[in-house]
Structure 1
Amino acid sequence: MDTMKSLQWYVRAVELGSLSAVAREAGTTQPTVSKVVAALERELGVRLLARTTASLAPTTQGQRFYERAKGVLAEYGAAVADARGDSASMQGPLRVNAPVALGQFRLNALVLAFLAEHPGIEVELILNDRMVDLVEEGVDVALRLGGALPPGAVARRVGASPRWLVAAPAYLERWPAPATPPELARHNYVRFAWLADGDDVTLSDGARTERVRTSSRYRVNHALAIRDSLAMGAGIGLCPAWLVHDLLADGQLRRVLPDWHGESQQLHLLYPERRYQPARARAFVEFIAARLAALPGLEPFTGP
């Protein structure tokens, strides 16, 4: 039995939830993967996977074995990279996760630039707005904007984006801009659909803090849709600068209550908490950290 292949296919079976998916990834057949995993179970004398016609999941013993097997594979990868040298360690796949708007609007071009510098690396960029489990979904590096960070991950804060109230000139011609934060309550307010504070908006001018209950007739779960809606004159919105910097520069949007701002949106790079991080993942983290925080609307993190 090829022990390393058995471990690799078993780990991916747990992460993908399907032997067929492992077979497609490995370029083989589902029966071949099934036989290898079954042989591993016989070798160990325990049942690792609970299979039904509709699903596949690790047993209690299988989950514990999965966690240990991931570590073994990581250490093996480190040993192989060390033996082959730095050039070989900069080869292979990377699975990257990011929020949809940030990924589409900013990160995509940076990933292509990274690939141009490292022809031996492959990147699978997965864009979604939910907080993923890095280990369970096989993610090497994730980018997160604000919010609580997941346990069991290493978080590196690389930058922040100020949040400003903005609106289109056409909207402000119909509805004069508020002169004070409380006047914001009388305006059409466009916001993200899943905010913990709901319609409440907290603003600061550096010395004072105001909390305003807004009127939100339009709530959207996608940052790029909010950006477009504001540019079309739908109302006023509180947006991170990275999302609207270009629209402000060319006059499609204007700052509202420019002396006031929301809490800055923090940008973190996350990776699994494990002893070994592939060299290609480390290179990606350094590449993205240096360039993403330097983009318009983002400020680099200078703390410890």
Structure 2
Amino acid sequence: MDHMHLMTVFVAVGEQESFAAASRSLNLSPAAITRAVAALEEKLGAQLLQRTTRHVRLTEAGQRYLDDCRSILASIEEANDAVAGGDTTPKGKLNITASVLFGKVFVTPCIVQYLKEYPEVDIAAYFLDRPVNLIEEGMDVAVRLGHLSDSSMKALRVGRMRRVLCASPEYLARHGVPQHPSDLERHSIIAASHLAPRVEWKFGLGEDSLTVRLKPRLTITSIDSAIRAAVDGLGICRLLSYQMAEELADGRLRIILPEYEEEPWPVHILHRESKYGSSKVRKFIDLLAQQLRAHPHLN
């Protein structure tokens, strides 16, 4: 069998961890899928998948080979696009990731517009509040908030956002408005973060920065729930400005201590390093960058 075909089948099985799902996605019979994987393992002399009656799992060698196959197949597609002049109609599948709320507010409208414009593309969007490794998890495009540490990706800066303290007018009327970060120790704190007995909030820039260690009254992993608690007057919360844009606009929340804010967080679009530019990836990045750069909450 053609080696590129074998790799394509293996990637479909490995990503979906299912022979049946790969059969449906590639429009091949289950027997053809099984034969292709067996032929590839025989050709390589290595077991790529562990099969049971209920599950399919990648072996360690299979995970490494899956990453390599994704890269090779993407390079072939991108090389074909480049030879065709880069103006071919986007087609195929795009995997995109962003944080949950950012994906809902900013990325989903771009996805909908893109899919309407390019009917031959399918998109899988993974909105997760955890770091996603683009290569290991097969992502084509990611949106990252904050300073970057991964230099192996191409990054396009498209905006910035503030990290702000907020509280309801009702809470501030009852407890007063803090004038300095140290005043927060006397206030009810809502921490939108992983459960921990204390939080450390950093304020200011450079040599003038300071860190305040606080014991939250409420620690909660849901940003929406933290906003609700702040709106209901429980205390002071610290969030990214876009996360509570509606509440700030209609006066249900007020920003406090703006003069002590950290440096704004950058917003980047990330994609995998490549010699060529895949038409479907490039056009999506162009659309997303245009939309994010024009959004008032990111600039």
- Taking structure 2 as the reference length, what is the TM-score of the superposition? 0.87
Give the whole-Å Cα distance in 2 for the aligned partners of 1:97 and 1:132.
Answer: 8
Instruction: Name the structure 2 match of 1:302.
Output: none
Q: Which amino acid aligns with 1:200?
A: E
Give the whole-Å Cα distance in 2 for the aligned partners of 1:191 and 1:49.
Answer: 44
Give the whole-Å Cα distance in 1 for the aligned partners of 2:209 and 2:87.
Answer: 53
- Check conservation: 2:169, 2:253, Cα contact below 8 A: yes
1:52 aligns with 2:51: yes
Of stretches 167-176 and 267-276 in structure 1, the one that deviates more from structure 2 is 267-276
Instruction: Name the structure 1 match of 2:169.
Output: 169
Give the whole-Å Cα distance in 1 for the aligned partners of 2:49 and 2:91.
Answer: 34
Change (3 A) 1:195 1:155: farther
- Check conservation: 2:188, 2:216, Cα contact below 8 A: yes
- Taking structure 1 as the reference length, what is the TM-score of the superposition? 0.85
Change (3 A) 1:115 1:24: same
Change (3 A) 1:7 1:78: same
Instruction: Name the structure 1 match of 2:90.
Output: 90
Corresponding residue SS for 1:219: strand
- Computed over aligned residues only, the root mean square deviation of the Cα atoms, in angstroms, reads 2.7
Instruction: Name the structure 1 match of 2:126.
Output: 126
- Check conservation: 1:48, 1:59, Cα contact below 8 A: no
- Check conservation: 1:71, 1:274, Cα contact below 8 A: no
1:222 to partner: Cα distance = 2.8
CA deviations over 1:156-210 (Å, ceiling 9, x no partner): 3322101121111122122211122211111111122239995111112788333
Q: Which amino acid aligns with 1:134?
A: L
Gaps in structure 1 of 5+ consecutive residues: 300-304
Corresponding residue SS for 1:111: helix
Give the whole-Å Cα distance in 2 for the aligned partners of 1:257 and 1:104.
Answer: 28
- Check conservation: 2:67, 2:136, Cα contact below 8 A: no
Change (3 A) 1:210 1:76: closer
How many residue pairs match? The answer is 297
CA deviations over 1:90-149 (Å, ceiling 9, x no partner): 222211111001111222122222333333332221111121221232211011222654
Identity of counterpart residues, as a percentage? Answer: 30
Instruction: Name the structure 1 match of 2:264.
Output: 264
Change (3 A) 1:105 1:71: closer
Gaps in structure 2 of 5+ consecutive residues: none
